[in-house]
Chain A
């Protein structure tokens, strides 16, 4: 079984596995890893507080991404894979650019930092056999998803919004969240079916995600993995969004089928740092999707994002669509850092889940608008929350008449646009995007499916 369950590395990689040389490993560690993982590997490097989850204390011997029984050491190949691919969605970068020999020395060095190898040697889990995509039975996979209780944490549609999600903490006492299974690009340990089977059977130690090795047969786990894979949605990352001209009128509602003809653009978000310059909360909103159309006079946006909880109380969910104000010339500040002292005002369209309304204003701070500033202009808005997802439709004049210094959107020209999203259920954490360019096209929508 051992050979089956190790990660399938190329035969060359196996052959290249060199003899351990701890001095070489230690030197490479000091050069590449210490700034995050710390000089003594205690997870307390210089950059540690600016990362969430925190870099691992490698002396504890707790490893998340294993192909081995819960509580046992990872295989060398597990660690090699983590180093090679990094852990997407966390601060752990990939080290593909390092020679394989160096990566192997780092693997040996990481292993030497804790006693887990001696205390609980790697015990590969039986991954069974891949039935192959043609024998994948998504209905059986869905049944397994329900029977195994994945939804308790990951939610019925896998959006990370299960009933237990907000209460989860990791072994180190920090708040953590179940992965949003629809965001394959955000899986730490790989989004392919084999990676999913491995996660399910081995569990993710140090986190609430348990091992199902005793609960699910390898065959059920494969069907489950094909189902989970089918939940993943391909993102359309883009720096440019086109807003087609809607000759037959703007889509009238959130569910208007005319939206389907408008291309969707996805934008990544990152949590803003707190006042101490730290990342102190898990990332619950990782991306925003939007579509935009215009009719020559106004632009209508359909914006959606996954937020695990519907919060409309005093710490409400919220969204800001940011445009540079008319006074700003050239590149505007990055939204990650805004607002700072002396930073320019922005034109913000701020929607709050408390009022379900949007107000636009040219402001130097978010809170002036969140608290309903007096000089704000209301925008026509519809919003709905369903199973872990907000959808907000807002309409903004291309050239607002009654708002001094508002951004003027000129068809045919690039208009920068960025998003900030607040999750009330995550202590009001704000997550922001970088700027994307939007062009109001002179052409009607091309009839192509965009999902």
Chain B
């Protein structure tokens, strides 16, 4: 019988197709790994309701575990508790930054209209002089920013709470 610890290690080799530096574990979407004899069940929770990468990650998890010789794999999508960017690991946040995506910052509640803009440091040059271009970016989980210092446009992995 395979150990859960081993499964978690294997899951560290399954990457988010849209943010390919993050594993499903870094992203915090793996809720649990349950083992019953030969049967392995992995519960994952979607980042966004319409995230098209979820189906792909589900298939990738099955494929990876099959590759490791585990054949009876079931991936279940659970909605509760709802995913939050707080579940992205510290290691994940560092990887995002190195990849050129600003990691999520603490943000005020979305119900505050025209709130003081938050400071999102530029992942390229580190400048804090950046501006929001659009709350909605290249994928559901990102906002679009630009650096006023080095002029580089960049993605910000927006806070979801």
Q: Do A and B come from one complex?
A: no
